[in-house]
Amino acid sequence: MIHSLFMINSAGDIFMEKHWKSVISRSVCDYFFEEQQKANSPEDVNPVISTPHHYLIHIYRENIYFVAVCTTEVPPLFVIEFLHRVVDTFTDYFGDGGESAIKDNYVIVYELLEEMLDNGFPLATESNILKELIKPPNILRTVVNTVTGSSNLADTLPTGQLSNVPWRRAGVKYTNNEAYFDVIEEIDAIIDKQGSTVFADIQGVIDCCVKLSGMPDLTLSFMNPRILDDVSFHPCVRFKRWEAERVLSFVPPDGNFRLISYHVGSQNMVAIPVYVKPNISFREGGGRFDVTVGPKQTMGKMVESVVITCAMPKVVLNMNLTPTQGTYTFDPVAKVLTWDVGKINPQKLPNLRGNISLQSGSPPPESNPAISVQFKIQQMAVSGLKVNRLDMYGEVSKSSPKKSFTFEKYKPFKGVKYLTKAGNFQVRT
Amino acid sequence: MSNGGGSYNAQNDSRAGSTGEPDLGTEPTGGFFSADYKKHDDLKQMLDSNKDNLKLEAMKRIVGMVAKGKDASDLFAAVVKNVVSKNIEVKKLVYVYLVRYAEEQQDLALLSIATFQRALKDPNQLIRASALRVLSSIRVPVIVPIMMLALKDSVVDMSPYVRKTAAHAIPKLYSLDPEQKDQLIQVIEKLLADKTTLVVGSAVMAFEELCPDRVDLIHKNYRKLCNLLVDVEEWGQVVIINMLTRYARTQFLDPNQQDVIADEDKNFYGDEDEKDSEEEEEDEEKEKTPPKKPYMMDPDHRLLLRNTKPLLQSRNAAVVMAVAQLYHHIAPKSEVGLVAKALVRLLRSHREIQHVVLSNVATLTTIRKVRGMFEPYLKSFFVRPSDPIHVRTLKLEILTNLATETSISTILREFQTYVTSSDKDFVAATIQAIGRCASSISEVTETCLNGLVGLLSNRNEYVVAESVVVIKKLLQMQPDSHSEIIQHMAKLADTITVPMARASILWMVGEYSDRVPKIAPDLLRKMAKNFINEEDIVKLQILNLAAKLCITNPKQTKLLCQYVLNLAKYDQNYDIRDRARFIRQLVSPAGEKGALGKHAKKIFLASKPAPVLDSSFKDRDQWQLGSLSHMINQQASGYSPLPDFPAAAPDPTVRNVEVPMPWAEKTHKKKAGKPKKEAFYSDEEEESESESDSEESSSSSSESGSESESEDDSKSESGSDKDKKSDEEAESSSSSSSESESSSESESDSESESEPDTKPQKKAPPPKTKSSTKPKKEAKQEVSLLDLDDKIKENGDSIPSQAHDEKTDHTLLDTEVDVSSTSAPVPAPASALDVLSPSLASDLQGLSINDKTDTAISVTTPMFVSTTSHELLHRMTGEGLSANYRFTRGTCIYSTSMVPVELTFTNHTDSPVSNIRIGDKKLQAGMTLQEFPEIPSLPGGGSMSVSIGIDFKDTIQPANFQICTQDRKYNVSIKPPVGELFQAVTMSEADFTAQQSKLTGMNENSGKVSIPSQHNNSKTITARMSELANVAPVSSSQDGIYRFAGKTVSGGTLLLITVKVGEDNSASITVNCELMAICSMLVKEVKQKLSLA
């Protein structure tokens, strides 16, 4: 399966390598560099590269190329998915998976890679299990370790691998038992010049932070589960109960995890919460830029954290604009205009207008750049999805006192939060 | 300390003292080596110190070097010493180092082996696992035997985690020494049988790496794999699904081609299918019944499809893709549509995943039949400006493939916006896509062409150039009435500079010069002027144009043509020179007209076929979807193409799992003959056996493994009950009725399963023993034989089936003799019995809940049941009442620790004997005896069998008790032969040897005997051994070694008998058992038995 892994930073340095089988010379990366040369941007490098003796499969995340070397037939998605899991684990451990974090924690990184893959085949990839085997660093522990010379490895070896619930370790204990559920929905949309919707789509996830003692068995039910068209689950969710009753029944992993991601049926009309009125024109040597943002269907909620970005054509030299609210920046190198609008006040619509100066001599661009919009709406799920209730099997209840005896008796604090944000929301101009 | 490996630490550890930026990858070269040496000395010192934190520090720095790809091999000796470190972290880092460098320092690496061997015996599973992991990762060929040993131990380890690691070690060992393949395959076979979800994924992975063609290893595990699939960890799922796809392609019929099947077959299989799916449904906890298909799908095929479907919901893209390819390759086309939604969902994921998924979707959309499934998701493939270029091109490809009459307008509108993109390559790709749409959908050709012509006035030259190329292709398809476009394009030749576009224009003008008769020569004139400055590709087309015009319009162009040809004659490019020479000969030969010159017109102006604009993904269909080979569109090493579906399905019964099923005997029992019909036995036997065979196979095929034994017992009892009722009926009707009952029983079974506790309570009057035991006895025999039959199948024909047949006859004859001579059975008065028996049935059901689990060592039905009765009470002593006892070797219905004994009372007088019961018991300490319920009355000349259970506590001490009638008491005693204290168990050969190795020394007893040559064959030895004791043969891979296993009924102590036959008919007998007395006794008895002439 995966033979070796090379991590390459944006400067083209191979700053870490790991081999699970025999050592492969890092010169194999030359093929990768060759491909990289051809590409315009780092994202454009083809993820699967075939070389005479090896196959290079890479992902690009956190400004690092993670290049896996394979020698035989292997499903490419298998490798890609695994590499992403590796980066997820780094992010989970170090707060971010960037180059400096990896270099700072290279011992842990190496130990993690050792545990996650055996002979090129994934061994332990569940964050919960890994944290049992290798303790994540934190400031306190780093200090203590430096003073006492102890290590970040678990003192007692875990038993987690043996439990029936591979994603949860046994013997979890909390003084405050709490379970938080964040229903986060993203609107993907393409709006055309006239302001009509070309394509709109709602994707949602439920992220959880569950800190409950023992082995809780949770059931989450929705008021309107039918609007979920396509769902993918964390392995803990019992699929059959979902099929039969449309409830989510699961023994949660400990800590943060993504319970489900879903897609709302396309037959539902998607409420577009904001509109953007762009007016961009170019002429010889310059142009006008005038953009107004306003709320559309917000269901009475405030639209917050609105950010407008626009990648201007290469010939744009500079922009001289005046916002009615918020601040704007124009990066003259990347030619990206960013306007941080903030909240939208329906009474006084935010507007940004001004002049564009172009490189002298070059013809004005024929097409206008697309505008992408970011926003957030708190306390609303745009699809209308509502959590009905969360039950914990094993809670003390009068009707069935018998059930509770094997479970720890506690009453958890439960909370559900809704959030709608823009996903890939772009306006063509 | 400030450079090299220490540089990580510079950031990590303030004590390292480096202040500047870490100099990763850019070491100062000057003085590097000397610094390196020094540093290594430093590290060596630290490693030699006895402080753990210094060692740790050193190891961290060394790992840093390893991580950076720096050479740290000269530290090997210093590092390897620390493998014994108590500090876990130091140890771990040493492991990391070892795995990296052991290959280079093989001799030194051997020093560490002993540590691993010790760690392999550690009580902590994780230590065992990591020891095995590192040991197997050290690529030192010398230790292959050690690894092999460790591996063999580990696959039977209690901890699934260790077994998983063992599975991972298999490919490592194989790559180190391919000669071990056969042994390793045996290990894989063992691991494949594992029922733990943690293990199976890795086991299949090892299977795939070593012996993907050994389909035979999968048969037995196929259903288990399907059923476990949902619970296997995600990486394992991918491997298993891919393997099962290939398996399905070899074992099942193509669901999309098979349409005609004889009606008869259909019904026959249809029933089974229904039944099967019912059973499976149970497993699945009531999933929807599959929709009825006009063709017949193997239930196993259906099982696979059904069990993989939920995995489309996995969060892991690789799993979703694996299921998608499985559906694509083996599902009926009507069901493949399911996967579209899941695949579209993956498009929300990381860009690399998008890329792979899109390229697979692109392949799928080239296949007309399945294209439709993506149509509802058309808009998901719209390109966003943020998409990387490779994703955009794939999306374009898909949109083009999906274009239909209905969707084309949406797509074209979308394409129009793409054309304005600032990315040149993307615009070019879009224009090509428009061209393809135009060529494939005739309705829009005109629109597209107009659109493209519109693009010709675009300011961007690339757009224009690409449009020209595409228009050229389109015009070629329908050149009529497009002369104005051609004119327009001819004008463009003045301005456009992109060579490909210029070449296209020239070609077109030349080809359709008759439509633009005025422009063409003018164009040639212009071109000729600038000939030397053109690109090669344009020059070739100028020559082409010149030649064509020279043929069609020689008056105007002859000279021009000559001029161009002359220019070309001295061109630098030899292609052009060649072409010029060639053309010159054709159009204006120097001498008389050459033979070819006559045909010049035909050669140059032949009508050319229009180019077919096809998807570049068309040919990717040959690869397995989702594979690496598919991605790179060439065969990756290790790729094996999916086989085609077989023309005729291979035997589906190979997947039947033949576990010893105690309940199977019940079905046979019903078919056993009645004592009355003794005369017909020999005839019947064959019939009943064949019946039971088929029954057996069907019942095992539908076997769900969830039936509890209690129900089976009830089944059996009601079966025998039925026997009684139908006693007087003809044989055939009886057997058929019981058969139908059994099938109805198996159905009701599944329903009652949900509430097994309530059932016994509903019907439980006190036990009555007046069941007619005679049929039961007969049945038992039958059963044992049939089980033997099973075993033969299981053991891979170790015993020829003919032998089994003979044996059947033999025992049945015995029975006949016995029955007639000893206990002339008379059916007991039916009156009372018929009323009582149903309750008895339910009673017994409640009594014998036997929770035998499916461990490696499981109790099995006896190989042989003695029919010889021993006298308990002589009729003289008993004043006309005689009693015999017989060991039935079944499972005692009263308690699992009791030996079941059947007592047969016969009344030799004319007057009835009443109130037969057991009186005082004088038993040894610890022994217990379960009495039979009192027999109210035994009529004169009548006979009746009852069963009792005696717990002998694994001794051969006799059980003394009294048998009482209404007015008399008789002291009797049962002394068990040593062989009857056991229960036959099945186990694998490996288990046997493993257990045997634990029972050595005092627990082993052996002897030698010579076996008469006529009896020195496996059949006789097996038969004799099973006659002697209730043991089951263990399949043996070696000739001349017979192994038998059993366990004591009361204590569950294991008994292992090995008979090794030498060359000169001498045999050595080894008996291993913790009970030494029994050991020695058995050796003696075995000797006697085997030496019998």
- pLDDT, position A339: 92
Residue with tokens 């017979």: B1042
Provide the pLDDT confidence category of residue A404 given band limits of 50, 70 and 90.
Answer: very low
Q: Which residue of B has its CA nearest to A13?
A: B25
Longest dimension (CA), chain A: 84
The count of C-alpha atoms lying within 13 angstroms of the C-alpha of B227, restricted to the half-sphere facing its C-beta, is 17
DSSP string for residues in B364-396: HHHSHHHHGGGGGGGGGG---TTS-HHHHHHHH
Closest CA to A410 of A247, A271, A211, A237: A211
Q: How far apart are the first and last CA of chain A?
A: 46
Residue with tokens 């559920």: A181
Query: Which tops the pLDDT comparison, B463 or A182?
Result: A182
What's the rounded Cα separation, in Å, for the pair B171 and B762? 56
Q: Which residue of A has its CA nearest to B308?
A: A239
Q: Are B119 and B127 in contact (CB under 8 A)?
A: yes
Query: How many interface pairs between A and B have CB atoms less than 8 angstroms apart?
Result: 262
- pLDDT, position A57: 93
- pLDDT, position B790: 45
Contact B315 A234 (CB under 8 A): yes
Contact B353 A81 (CB under 8 A): yes
How near does any CA of chain B get to the CA of A185, in Å? 13
What's the rounded Cα separation, in Å, for the pair A100 and B16? 17
What's the rounded Cα separation, in Å, for the pair B985 and B52? 53
Contacts of A176 (CB under 8 A, 6+ apart): A211, A413
B512, two tokens:
């359709």
Q: Which residue of A has its CA nearest to B626?
A: A75
Contact B318 A81 (CB under 8 A): yes
Overall average pLDDT of the B1010-1028 stretch: 80
How near does any CA of chain A get to the CA of B676, in Å? 54
Window from A38-47, A216-225, B503-512, B803-812 with minimum mean pLDDT = B803-812
Looking at the predicted structure, is the pLDDT value of residue B11 above 80?
A: no
Contact B422 A74 (CB under 8 A): no
Which of chain B's residues have a Cβ under 8 Å away from the Cβ of A239?
Answer: 230, 310, 313
Overall average pLDDT of the B255-282 stretch: 44
Phi, psi of B467 (to 5 degrees): -60, -40
Q: Are B552 and B514 in contact (CB under 8 A)?
A: yes
Q: Which one of A61, A232, A266 has the shortest CB-CB distance to B315?
A: A232
- pLDDT, position B26: 40
Provide the pLDDT confidence category of residue A398 given band limits of 50, 70 and 90.
Answer: very low
Q: Does A55 touch chain B (CB under 8 A)?
A: yes
User: What is the percentage of chain B residues whose pLDDT exceeds 70?
Assistant: 72
How near does any CA of chain B get to the CA of A109, in Å? 10
Q: Which one of B233, B286, B318 has the shortest CB-CB distance to A75?
A: B318
- pLDDT, position B711: 42
What's the pLDDT tens digit per position in B546-583?
Answer: 888 888 887 888 888 888 888 888 888 889 899 888 88
Q: Which residue of B has its CA nearest to A258?
A: B315
Q: Which one of B133, B310, B632 has the shortest CB-CB distance to A118?
A: B133
Window from A100-109, A293-302, B752-761 with minimum mean pLDDT = B752-761
Q: Are A179 and A168 in contact (CB under 8 A)?
A: no
- pLDDT, position A150: 52
Phi, psi of B999 (to 5 degrees): -110, 75
Q: Distances from the Cα of B68 to the Cαs of A84, A102, A272, B8, in angstroms?
A: 21, 12, 50, 9
Contacts of B581 (CB under 8 A, 6+ apart): B569
What's the pLDDT tens digit per position in A201-233?
Answer: 888 999 999 888 888 888 999 988 888 888 888
Overall average pLDDT of the B111-137 stretch: 84
Looking at the predicted structure, is the pLDDT value of residue B511 above 90?
A: no
Which of chain B's residues have a Cβ under 8 Å away from the Cβ of A365?
Answer: 422
Query: Which tops the pLDDT comparison, B481 or B301?
Result: B301
What's the pLDDT tens digit per position in B741-765?
Answer: 444 444 444 444 444 444 444 444 4
How near does any CA of chain B get to the CA of A250, in Å? 13
Q: How many CB atoms lie within 10 A of CB B789?
A: 19
- pLDDT, position B985: 82
Q: Which one of B51, B318, B460 has the shortest CB-CB distance to A78?
A: B318
What's the rounded Cα separation, in Å, for the pair B249 and B256? 12
Q: Best-predicted range by mean pLDDT among A2-6, A360-364, B373-377?
A: A2-6
- pLDDT, position B292: 42
Q: Does A374 touch chain B (CB under 8 A)?
A: no
Q: Are B485 and B503 in contact (CB under 8 A)?
A: no
What's the rounded Cα separation, in Å, for the pair B617 and B632? 11
What's the pLDDT tens digit per position in B296-345?
Answer: 778 888 888 888 888 888 889 999 999 999 998 888 888 888 888 888 88
Which of chain B's residues have a Cβ under 8 Å away from the Cβ of A261?
Answer: 315, 345, 348
Q: Are B295 and B259 in contact (CB under 8 A)?
A: yes
pTM recorded for the entire structure: 0.66
Q: Which residue of B has its CA nearest to A189?
A: B384
- pLDDT, position A369: 84
Looking at the predicted structure, is the pLDDT value of residue A139 above 70?
A: no
Residue with tokens 């960890």: B233
Q: Does A313 touch chain B (CB under 8 A)?
A: yes
Give which of A53, A81, A261 to mutate to test B binding, by max B Cβ within 10 Å.
A81
Q: Are B1044 and B987 in contact (CB under 8 A)?
A: no
Q: Which residues pair with A7 in a beta bridge?
A: A16, A66
**Alpha-helical regions (H) of B2-87:** 6-12, 32-48, 52-68, 76-80
User: What is the percentage of chain A residues whose pLDDT exceeds 90?
Assistant: 16
Q: How many CB atoms lie within 10 A of CB B648?
A: 5
Q: Does A13 touch chain B (CB under 8 A)?
A: yes
How near does any CA of chain B get to the CA of A168, in Å? 13
Contact A203 B348 (CB under 8 A): yes
What's the rounded Cα separation, in Å, for the pair B550 and B729? 106
Contact A239 B88 (CB under 8 A): no
Q: Does A121 touch chain B (CB under 8 A)?
A: yes
Burial of B1000 (0-12, 13-18, 19+ CB in 10 A): exposed
Axis crossing angle, helix B830-847 with helix B709-725, rounded to the nearest 10: 170
In this structure, chain A runs to a length of 429
Contact B8 A77 (CB under 8 A): no
Which of chain B's residues have a Cβ under 8 Å away from the Cβ of A244?
Answer: 286
Q: Which residue of B has its CA nearest to A132?
A: B126
Phi, psi of B318 (to 5 degrees): -65, -40
DSSP string for residues in B644-679: PPPSSPPPGGGG------TTHHHHHHHHSPPGGGGG
Looking at the predicted structure, is the pLDDT value of residue B455 above 60?
A: yes
**Alpha-helical regions (H) of B934-1002:** 989-998
Q: Does A288 touch chain B (CB under 8 A)?
A: no
Query: Which tops the pLDDT comparison, B564 or B290?
Result: B564
CA A97 to centroid of chain Cα atoms: 12
Contact A199 B103 (CB under 8 A): no
Which of chain A's residues have a Cβ under 8 Å away from the Cβ of B89?
Answer: 151-153
Looking at the predicted structure, is the pLDDT value of residue B63 above 90?
A: no
Secondary structure of residue B984 in the 3-state scheme: strand
Contact B202 A240 (CB under 8 A): no
Looking at the predicted structure, is the pLDDT value of residue A184 above 90?
A: yes
Provide the pLDDT confidence category of residue B387 given band limits of 50, 70 and 90.
Answer: confident
Query: Which tops the pLDDT comparison, B275 or B509?
Result: B509
Residue with tokens 């329906």: A346
R_g (Cα) of chain B, nearest Å: 43
Looking at the predicted structure, is the pLDDT value of residue B726 above 70?
A: no
Q: Best-predicted range by mean pLDDT among A402-416, B530-544, B1060-1074?
A: B530-544
Q: Are B1082 and B978 in contact (CB under 8 A)?
A: yes
What's the pLDDT tens digit per position in B802-826?
Answer: 444 444 444 444 434 343 333 444 4
User: What is the percentage of chain B residues whose pLDDT exceeds 90?
Assistant: 2
Q: What is the value of ipTM here, to two decimals?
A: 0.88
B1000, two tokens:
């050595």
DSSP string for residues in B476-507: HH--TT-HHHHHHHHHHTTT---HHHHHHHHH
Q: Which residues pair with A209 in a beta bridge?
A: A180, A256
* Sign of the torsion formed by the C-alpha atoms of B492, B495, B499 and B500: negative
Tell me, what DSSP letter sits at residue B727?
G
* Sign of the torsion formed by the C-alpha atoms of B984, B989, B995 and B998: positive
Looking at the predicted structure, is the pLDDT value of residue B779 above 50?
A: no
Residue with tokens 């054309």: B419
- pLDDT, position A56: 92
- pLDDT, position A226: 82
Secondary structure of residue B58 in the 3-state scheme: helix
What's the rounded Cα separation, in Å, for the pair B626 and A75? 6
A299, two tokens:
């269901």
Q: Which one of A1, A50, A166 has the shortest CB-CB distance to B632?
A: A50
Report the mean per-residue pLDDT for chain A.
83
Query: Which tops the pLDDT comparison, B896 or A7?
Result: A7
Closest CA to B169 of B197, B147, B185: B147
Looking at the predicted structure, is the pLDDT value of residue B21 above 70?
A: no
Q: Does A33 touch chain B (CB under 8 A)?
A: no
Window from A251-255, B331-335, B685-689 with minimum mean pLDDT = B685-689
What's the rounded Cα separation, in Å, for the pair B767 and B351? 72
Query: Which tops the pLDDT comparison, B281 or B244?
Result: B244
What's the rounded Cα separation, in Å, for the pair B1019 and A24? 58
Give residues 221 to 260 of A whose Cβ lies within 8 Å of B. Answer: 229-235, 239-240, 243-244, 258
Q: Which residue of A has its CA nearest to B69?
A: A17
Contact A125 B314 (CB under 8 A): no
- pLDDT, position B659: 52
Contact A158 B126 (CB under 8 A): yes
Q: How many CB atoms lie within 10 A of CB B291?
A: 7
Contact B242 A203 (CB under 8 A): no
What's the rounded Cα separation, in Å, for the pair B209 and B222? 18
Single-letter amino acid code for the residue at B1080: S
Contact B390 A46 (CB under 8 A): yes
- pLDDT, position A94: 85
